[in-house]
Amino acid sequence: ETCALSDNFTMTFLDLTAAYHVKVMNRLYLTPKLVAGYTRLDPAPVDPEAGDPGRALSAPNAGLGFGIEYATGMDHFSVGADLLARYVIGPNITAFSIFPKVKYTF
Cα-based angle 66, 67, 72 (whole degrees, multiple of 5) = 160
pLDDT (tens place) for every residue of the chain, 106 residues total: 455 555 678 899 999 999 999 999 999 999 999 999 999 988 777 765 666 555 568 999 999 999 999 999 999 999 999 999 999 998 888 999 999 999 998 8
Determine contact, residues 17/40, Cβ cutoff 8 Å: no
Residue 84: per-residue pLDDT: 97
**Residues 63, 80: Cα–Cα separation, whole Å:** 19
Q: 45: buried, middle or exposed (CB in 10 Å: 19+, 13-18, 0-12)?
A: buried
